[in-house]
């Protein structure tokens, strides 16, 4: 147990499994004690059948919370022992209606005594324990039903990553990063074009001096993401969101989202009403991100970029 104390509650799964094993391991012995020739795994099926005379395989599976092949196997074993009988449904040839045989019902009577004693034993343990396992399980089932562990972990990750990400204004020292991060992804998926070089080689002249902005994302102090807001001369849009790039090192750390969120805030604070962007549908994570931020697809506009096959806009009002 020392191991699990040290490792923390991450081990809750392993620990649950071990307790389950411990609670379960005696089951076979207990049946022997009552001279009941039955396998522990048959019990749920058995019990369900005592409650309701007849049930099909699928009904049984649903009732006891197993998959149907599991029930199918159990039934074929119980059939061999003669505890149940099967009966093809006359009106629906697919259904295999299972019921307890005479022999099965006799066993089921013997089981009742056992149930009483096992229940009493478990109640005894419960009474000796300060913390209520039964109720705790119920609560956990409910809480996990509401929000899965995966979702909870995802949220925690976002929170933690967010705290590590700092979004700052572009300074001339970032020019190298701004260029290299963009070259990296563009040349990975497409090829660099004329307009790329213009913006990347001279962000000061091409973007900032024209009334645009650039933000830089620091992760643990290192610049791992960049994003630009380019002033547009078109009457419809105020800015184009462009040259967004996140280092593979920071992938999955929510950097893109935080960066985009920040740049949208920036645009808002500058009184912008509509933002435009161009992208390509093979960049699925990017498209998803834009979608999540509220961008909507718009019909084709003229563009200098060959790689553009989708255009989107975000209305800020």
Partner DNA sequence: TAAATTTGCGTAACTGGTTACGTAATTAAT
Partner DNA sequence: ATTAATTACGTAACCAGTTACGCAAATTTA
Binding site for DNA (CB under 7 A): 17, 39-41, 56-59, 65-70, 72-76, 86, 91-97
Q: Does 67 bind a second copy (CB under 8 A)?
A: no
Q: Does 285 bind a second copy (CB under 8 A)?
A: no
Question: Between 42 and 178, whose beta carbon lies closer to a second copy?
Answer: 42
Euclidean distance between CA atoms 87 and 82, whole angstroms: 14
Q: Of a second copy, DNA, none, which one sits near residue 270, judging by CB under 5 to 8 A according to partner kind?
A: none
Question: Between 34 and 257, whose beta carbon lies closer to a second copy?
Answer: 34
- Under a CB-based contact definition with an 8 Å cutoff, are residues 199 and 226 in contact? no
- Under a CB-based contact definition with an 8 Å cutoff, are residues 238 and 275 in contact? yes
Nearest to residue 276, comparing CAs of 226, 315, 244, 309? 315
> Pick from 80, 90, 94, 131: which binds a second copy (CB under 8 A)?
131
Q: Does 121 bind a second copy (CB under 8 A)?
A: yes
> Pick from 37, 89, 112, 155: which binds a second copy (CB under 8 A)?
155
How far apart are CB 186 and DNA at their closest, in Å?
A: 37
Tokens describing residue 230:
């380019």
Q: Of DNA, a second copy, none, which one sits near residue 162, judging by CB under 5 to 8 A according to partner kind?
A: none
Q: Of a second copy, DNA, none, which one sits near residue 87, judging by CB under 5 to 8 A according to partner kind?
A: none
- Under a CB-based contact definition with an 8 Å cutoff, are residues 99 and 106 in contact? no
φ and ψ of 243, to 5 deg: 55, 40
Question: Between 80 and 188, whose beta carbon lies closer to DNA?
Answer: 80
Q: Which stretch binds a second copy (CB under 8 A): 31-39, 87-95, 285-293, 297-305?
A: 31-39
Question: Between 44 and 162, whose beta carbon lies closer to DNA?
Answer: 44
Nearest to residue 255, comparing CAs of 212, 216, 312, 199? 216
- Under a CB-based contact definition with an 8 Å cutoff, are residues 64 and 41 in contact? no
Nearest to residue 278, comparing CAs of 234, 315, 308? 308
């Amino acid at each position: 147990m020392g191991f699990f104390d040290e490792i923390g509650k991450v081990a809750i799964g392993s620990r649950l499994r071990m307790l389950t094993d411990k609670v379960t391991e005696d089951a076979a012995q207990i049946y022997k004690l009552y001279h009941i020739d039955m396998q522990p795994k048959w019990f749920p099926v058995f019990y369900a059948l005592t409650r309701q005379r007849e049930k099909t395989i699928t009904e049984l599976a649903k009732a006891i919370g197993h998959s149907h092949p599991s029930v199918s196997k159990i039934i074929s074993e119980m059939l061999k022992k003669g505890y149940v009988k099967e009966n093809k449904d006359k009106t629906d040839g697919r259904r295999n209606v299972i019921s307890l045989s005479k022999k099965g019902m006799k066993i089921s009577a013997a089981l009742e005594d056992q149930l009483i004693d096992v229940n009493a034993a478990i109640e005894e343990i419960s009474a000796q324990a300060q913390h209520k396992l039964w109720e705790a399980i119920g609560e956990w089932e409910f809480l996990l039903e509401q929000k899965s562990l995966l979702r909870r972990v995802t949220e925690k990750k976002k929170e933690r990553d967010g705290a590590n990400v700092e979004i700052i204004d572009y300074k001339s020292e970032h020019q190298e990063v701004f260029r290299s991060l963009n070259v990296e992804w563009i040349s990975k998926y497409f090829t660099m074009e004329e307009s790329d070089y213009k913006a990347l080689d001279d962000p000061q002249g091409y973007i900032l001096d024209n009334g645009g902005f650039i933000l830089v994302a620091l992760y643990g102090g290192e610049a791992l993401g960049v994003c630009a807001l380019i002033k547009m001369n078109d009457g419809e849009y105020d800015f184009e969101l462009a040259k967004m790039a996140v280092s593979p090192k920071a992938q999955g750390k929510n950097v893109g989202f935080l960066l985009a969120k920040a740049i949208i805030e920036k645009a808002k604070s500058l009184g912008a009403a509509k933002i435009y962007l161009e992208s390509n549908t093979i960049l699925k994570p990017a498209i998803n991100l834009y979608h999540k931020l509220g961008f909507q697809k718009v019909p084709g506009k003229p563009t200098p970029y060959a790689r553009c096959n989708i255009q989107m806009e975000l209305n800020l009002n």
